[in-house]
Amino acid sequence: MAKEIERKFLLQNNDWQSEADEGLVLKQGYLSTDPDRTVRIRLAGKRGILTVKSKNIGITRNEFEYEIPYSDTLELLKLCAPPLIEKTRYKVHHNHLTWEIDIFSGENEGLAIAEVELTDEHQSITPPAWIGKEVSDDQRYYNSNLVLHPFKHWE
């Protein structure tokens, strides 16, 4: 069983762009958005991925990921509750960590989040200068919640 230990942040500015890779378009939907367990289908380029995640305890949760056939991914996305999450993910390497910057489109247009996966909940990090407020504990920023409450409808 894999553990996901992840911190999420808003972006302070776009200075990360000069350090980022070319980005990868992601489309994902949820077969379950239950807070105790989420089941996600993701299309990452031409790769299909099925992910099951447990409820967070702090910033840690169990995560199970399996590659699935492209054709199955397309069919499973049709079963997901709308809207699908649409975003482009960029990777930036900083201080021996990989930061993933998600720039959302569609119903979540205008939202940008940086995530970093850690090996330990207490791992010390030095965020890049372009990192803003931490939102790791704010469930509004969970992708599974963005399906139910898209960013463009926030006040």
Give 58-90 as a DSSP string: TTEEEEEEEEE-HHHHHHHHHHSPSSPEEEEEE
Q: For residues 120 and 5, is the Cβ–Cβ distance under 8 A?
A: yes
pLDDT digits (tens, 9 = 90+) for 5-56: 999 999 999 999 999 999 999 999 999 999 899 999 999 999 999 999 999 8
Strand partners, 2: 63
Contact partners, residue 7, CB within 8 Å, separation at least 6? 59, 115, 116, 118, 125, 134, 136
Within the chain, residue ranges assigned H as helices are 70-79, 143-148
Strand partners, 134: 9
Give all domains of the chain, ordered by start, each with its CATH number.
Answer: 2-153 (2.40.320.10)
pTM assigned to the model: 0.94
How many separate helices (H) and strands (E) can be counted in the chain?
Answer: 2, 9
Residues annotated as catalytic are 30
pLDDT digits (tens, 9 = 90+) for 53-66: 999 888 999 999 99
Q: Would you place residue 1 in the very low, low, confident or very high pLDDT band (cuts 50, 70, 90)?
A: low
The token pair that represents 46 in the structure block:
């031409």
